[in-house]
Amino acid sequence: MEDKQKRIQDAVEEKINVDEKLAEFDTSSNTRKLVGVLAKAITIIAIVMSLFHLYTAGAGTLLAMKQRAFHLLFVFVLGFLMYPISKKSNKTKVPIYDWIFTIAGIVVTTYIIFNFEALVKRGGIPNNLDIFLGILAILLVLEVTRRSIGPELPTIAIIFIAYVFLGPYLPGVLGHRGYALDRIVNQLYMTTEGIFGTPLGVSSTFVFMFILFGSFLEITGVGQFFIDVAFAAAGHKKGGPAKAAVLASGFMGSISGSSIANTVTTGAFTIPLMKKVGYKSDFAGAVEAAASTGGQILPPVMGAAAFIMSEFTNIPYIRIVISAVVPALLYYLGVTIMVHLQASKQGLEGIPKEELPEFKSTFKKGFHLLLPLLSVVVFLIRFSPLKAAFFSILVALAVSFIRSHTRINFKDLLYALEDGAKKAVSVAAACACAGIIVGIVTLTGLGLTFANLIVSLAGGMLIPTLFLTMIASIILGMGLPTTAKYIVLATMAAPALVELGVPLIAAHLFILYFGVIADVTPPVALAAYAGAGIAGGDSFKTGLNALKLGSAGFLIPFIFAISPKLLLIDVTFVEAIMAITTACLGIVAFASGVQGYFLTTTKIYERVMFIIAALLLIHPNVTIDFVGFVLLIASAAMQYHRYKKSKPLATNS
């Protein structure tokens, strides 16, 4: 009992520190610090929101528009009460104008809920009240999104709205005939093509439930278990704390779906230990940022974007998970090898075993916490993602009772319900705002126009088209959450890749991967900046180091877009093993070339040979792989020869 109380107390203290750091780098964490009756009221609303979604997940969802309207109602209420109008605003009270915003949000959503049948009967011919409430709903969505995730996505949405009105005056292919106000409002407010479109639909079902699932896992102590197991397994090895950070952050990131939150949460523990064994501040922050960022592409959860991808492509979520496994593991292999080589260059050893948790006892103490994660995979094979998340939450609850130190009491249960709802607000707001963009793209046909422009600009060639799409993904990813960025490019850029023969799932994963990598791509590398804040390093240098560590992530998407064997599509077992083996060798070669170290410091020509070998090996082609393998062996042999020659000298000195 004392152990559990200490665990909860430590968790509360750690959460306070984490929240303070998150507020510096993550807009979605910049919430009011309310107390008293109002704080309790918000807690109750958040719990009711979670209970509503649990009920509809178990008993069956409502009609699409009603389910999404209820979801948005909670988002408006919590969003305007939790998030101040600016960072400088008083965070201890809710001003009168936010109460007005809240009431307006309730009005525009309940109008849909209670008048849905009447709206359907009007058949797309809105009356004056519909138009007024529709305009109000659009403005409210833009504002709650600005508060919860920042101004970038609402700004893009406003540009798209302006495009609808300016279309008749634009030259060339971008021009269109224009649309009346009632048509625009009908599209964005009264149908499932705008605000209440697919993105909000996924948020109101799969995404919310998996966010809630993550909250239930956190309250059982799974995060600390991942950290303890990672350090027990790798902490004593060369550069051990960094390798442990990669493992722990990968596990946590696959659940949390937030690069910044994961960097701050696990980094508060791992970064000081990395610095303790000799890693520089800039590198320690970068390791945590690169590892945390990769969690969004690591199955089984992969953040919210993967669920939206399933809806957009009509590809079963479990199929997406299977295809994403190998590229994600290659990314983490690249980060791990980079960390190992850096430790070898600096001569950094691990933490003494006696200072680390013992692996066997640590794993035995908390292995049952892995059962909910395993259950997710099993349930996804048989059920929809919504049901899989629902049943996995029940498993997490049940599993927590196996051991006293993980047992969830009533207070813990309420906290998990509250925490899940609050975390979902920023994601849902982004989905609603992205729905405005998708609705306008659908209305104007801009998606097809944009796809044709990309193909035309790239001269109809695949590699230049991939390169332009990569640039667009990274630029959007710098300012937008991964989910919102994916939604925008899935409607506009993905069709261009598919048109040039890239498999549908490869095209969408290509966009997702580069949107994720934007979190460690300067000049706006938010996860790296968060890591630098904890490590006390330089933000830009940390960003460059994180980019270097995650550089394999720039290579892998091009490979699976050109040849989807790495996605396990239309491939035999032998072909899959060959593709994975050569890709792993390619990652080792690539890391050696980038770091300038293999067994010893590389010469310039060796570095070039390693890079070329990597490019050849990662491409899944037998002949090309063979040439790359020969080049890798030659490079490694030269390194080994110089390493053996230098070893006696090092010993004598």
pLDDT for residue 147: 93
Query: pLDDT tens digit string along 90-149?
Result: 888 999 999 999 999 999 999 999 998 888 887 778 899 999 999 999 999 999 999 998
**Cα-flanking dihedrals φ and ψ of residue 597, to 5°?**
-155, 135
pLDDT for residue 20: 59
Cα 450 to Cα 397, 444, 455, 489: the distances in Å are 47, 11, 9, 10
pLDDT for residue 273: 84
First to last CA, the chain: 56
Q: What residues form DSSP beta bridges with 597?
A: 601
pLDDT for residue 18: 58
Tell which wins on pLDDT, 139 or 243. 139
Query: pLDDT tens digit string along 151-174?
Result: 989 999 999 999 999 988 888 778
The three-point CA angle 485-178-157 to 5° equals: 20
Domain limits, the chain: 571-653
Tell which wins on pLDDT, 75 or 224. 75
Q: Which of 9-18, 298-307, 336-345 is the least confident region? A: 9-18
Going by pLDDT thresholds of 50, 70 and 90, the confidence category of residue 249 is confident
**How high is the mean pLDDT of the chain?**
86
pLDDT, mean of residues 323-331: 91
pLDDT, mean of residues 77-85: 95
How far apart CA 576 and CA 322 sit, in angstroms, is 12
- With CA atoms as reference, report the closest residue to 273 among 3, 534, 546: 534
Tell which wins on pLDDT, 522 or 419. 419
Q: Which of 525-529, 543-547, 554-558 is the least confident region? A: 525-529
Helix axes 128-149, 152-166, angle to 10 degrees: 150
Q: Does residue 376 carry a pLDDT above 60?
A: yes
Q: Coil, helix or strand for 601?
A: strand
Cα 207 to Cα 19, 203, 431: the distances in Å are 22, 5, 10
Contacts of 224 (CB under 8 A, 6+ apart): 7, 11
